[in-house]
Amino acid sequence: MSLDETDRAIINVLQGGFPIAARPFAVAAERLGLTEDDLLARITRLRADGTLTRFGPLWHAEKMGGGLTLTAMKVPAERYEEVTEIVNSYPEVAHNYAREHSFNMWFVVATERPERIREVLDDIERRTGLAVFDMPKIEEFFVGLRFEA
């Protein structure tokens, strides 16, 4: 994958503020100094090569009435693969990262019903025999999560 300057401009400009109008790509293309066809072709290519995962909404879990939390576990090295398999088997586990620390497994759990969070965490504790530390956010200071291409 190689990005030219136009691809980078598309990624940087369209991570937020995509037009909600009948011809959104035409409106966005004008902002970028491109034609509608060119913009569509480039976004199609960026999605095909995996640079973009999706083109659409980033939801606010709590405002949708769902549950969301960050959880951590201390997993013995020799059990890491086995525990990963158990944790990742839940569709509610959205991402899971190995990190360098005694707390070496970190994953996000997102559910449609808030009560479901506790059920999933209890279930993981029961199946692994390991403690799951629930660390839901108390306050949010920034949710930029934008990346300069």
State which of positions 4-33 bind other proteins (CB under 8 A).
10-11, 14-18, 20-26
Q: What span, in angstroms and rounded, lies between the C-alpha atoms of 80 and 102?
A: 12
Cα dihedral 47/51/57/60 (nearest 10): 150
State which of positions 104-133 bind other proteins (CB under 8 A).
106-108, 110, 112, 133
Q: What span, in angstroms and rounded, lies between the C-alpha atoms of 101 and 97?
A: 12
**129 vs 147 by CB, closer to other proteins:** 147
Q: Which of 4, 5, 33, 58 binds other proteins (CB under 8 A)?
A: 58
User: CB 126 → other proteins: shortest distance, Å?
Assistant: 19
Radius of gyration of the chain (CA): 20
State which of positions 62-81 bind other proteins (CB under 8 A).
63-66, 68, 70, 72, 74
